[in-house]
Amino acid sequence: MTCREVIEFLMDYTSGELPHEVRAEFERHLELCPPCVAYLHTYEQTRELARHACISQDKAVDADVPEELVRAILAARAAERR
Amino acid sequence: MHELPARDSHAGDADAARSLEQREERALLERLRAGEPEAFGTLVRRHGAQMLAVARRLLSHEDDAREVVQDAFLSAFRAVASFEGGSRLGTWLHRITVNAALMKLRQRRRRHEEPIDAYLPGFLADGHQARPAEDWRRSAQEILSSREDRQYVLDCIERMPESYREVLKLRDIEELSTQETAELLSIEPNTVKVRLHRARQALRALLDARFRGNR
């Protein structure tokens, strides 16, 4: 298996979807290839960074919905019913 | 007689809280279906902040996010009679918000999207990585502890081509399944998988420019 194939199969590997025999070959490649191990680490770090950077963005803003938005939504509902 | 382990009593508390929440949710649904005006305000105040957070994660402009939350609530109000309660109210509203945000994105979509190929890894003729990957200098937790670096990650996500960014956000941030994402975007599940893998690779390449190097 080449580095190109390892990187192509990376998502299936991390989600546990690789067939058993391909997984064994994949792991044999990783034992011998530090750059592919580094690629795998940084690929997983990327997922973690994306998720947590977006979620921490939520904490930085209000925990409550802005009152003017509540009023706008209820007014739009009332207007729809007229 | 043996004393129950503390873990079980916590599990019991959690079950009781969940059951109370479910009863409250059912009661709210009945009031909404009966058209009680105060019930609509309660729904907006109870779920609005969470829906606004979802809309903000999917859209970069605050005005668009607020508009989407308003559209999502109006759709929910219209559909509440047909909501069967098979899923939790929060899950149902999350899905409606994602849908409204995607409609807004489609209205704004630029005609020409930048190809993603430039961000994908290159390979030599023998299949080796053209630029061998290296571990990053800091762990994800260390990076996330810096406000500046968190903003850098968010900026990199915004730099990705839209059809890839969209899939990355739905799968990795909103945690929708491949099937749900495919249905929302009207594409094949396999296309979702291909785009997600490319999106992660592209984002990795953008982040690599800043975080690369041995510890």
* pLDDT means over runs of 10, chain B (215 residues): 56 76 86 90 93 91 93 93 81 94 82 81 94 94 94 94 93 94 94 96 95 71
Could you give the percent of chain A with pLDDT greater than 70? 94
Tell me the pLDDT of chain A averaged across its residues.
Answer: 90
Does B73 contact A at CB distance below 8 Å?
Answer: yes
Return the amino acid letter for A28: R
ipTM beyond cut 0.90: no
Contact B132, B88 (CB under 8 A): no
Flag if A56 and B144 touch (Cβ within 8 Å): yes
Q: How far apart are CA B43 and CA A76, in angstroms?
A: 15
pLDDT, tens only, A15-46: 999 999 999 999 999 999 999 999 999 999 99
Which of B63, B94, B136, B138 would best serve as a mutation to test chain A binding (most A beta carbons within 10 A)? Answer: B136
For the cut 70, the answer to whether the pLDDT of residue A60 exceeds it is no
At B215 the pLDDT is 47
Q: Residues of A53-65 as b/e, b for ≥16 C-beta within 10 angstroms?
A: bbeebbeeeeeeb
Comparing C-alpha atoms, which of B112, B106, B93, B94 is closest to residue B64?
A: B106
Contact B134, A34 (CB under 8 A): no
At B169 the pLDDT is 95
Flag if B52 and A38 touch (Cβ within 8 Å): no
Does B4 contact A at CB distance below 8 Å?
Answer: no
Query: By CB neighbour count within 10 A (0-12 exposed, 13-18 middle, 19+ buried), where does B10 fall?
Result: exposed
* Residue B18 neighbours by CB under 8 Å, 6+ apart: none
B104, two tokens:
């807004």
Flag if A52 and B140 touch (Cβ within 8 Å): yes
CB atoms < 10 A from the CB of B135, how many?
Answer: 18
Q: What's the whole-model pTM score? A: 0.81
Contact B23, A57 (CB under 8 A): no
Contact B182, B189 (CB under 8 A): yes
Contact A7, A36 (CB under 8 A): yes
Interface of A with B (CB under 8 A): 2-5, 7, 10-11, 34-36, 38-39, 41-43, 45-58, 61-66, 69-70, 72-74, 76-77, 80
Return the amino acid letter for A11: M
Torsion of CA A10, A15, A19, A21, to 10 degrees: 60
Flag if A56 and B196 touch (Cβ within 8 Å): no
Between helices B6-33 and B37-58, what is the axis angle to 10°? 110
Contact B194, B116 (CB under 8 A): no
Length of chain B (residues):
215
